[in-house]
Amino acid sequence: MTDRRQAMLARYADAHGMTSDEAMSEFAAEARIARYGKPSEIADLIAFLVSPAARWLTGAVIRMDGGESKAI
């Protein structure tokens, strides 16, 4: 739940005539995500990507969105 996500949810709430809490629940259900991620979880990914553990990782697109984007 970043500032960017909170701003998006505020716009979603306004557009759908609901409260922020209702928008949080509705959007999560619509996107089929179990919960909103935390900034610290993004930081964990970044720490991995800049660490020696990721030294063999090249040319990858890593989408960290809790399953919001559906792909196979």
Tens-place pLDDT, residues 13-26: 999 999 999 999 99
Structure tokens at 14: 């306004």
Instruction: Please name the residues in contact with 67: beta carbons below 8 A apart, sequence gap of 6 or more.
Output: 31, 32, 33, 34
Measured distance CA(47)–CA(67) in Å, rounded: 21
pLDDT of residue 62: 87
Residue 34 lies in a domain: yes
Residue 31 lies in a domain: yes
Structural Rg of the chain based on CA atoms: 15
Residue 68 lies in a domain: no
Q: Please tell me the total count of domains within the chain.
A: 1
Residue 33 lies in a domain: yes
Residue 39 lies in a domain: yes
Q: What is the pTM of this model?
A: 0.63
Residue 35 lies in a domain: yes
Residue 24: which domain range? 3-54
Residue 64 lies in a domain: no
Per-residue pLDDT tens over the stretch 55-67: 999 888 888 877 7
Q: Alpha-carbon torsion 58, 63, 64, 66, what sign?
A: negative
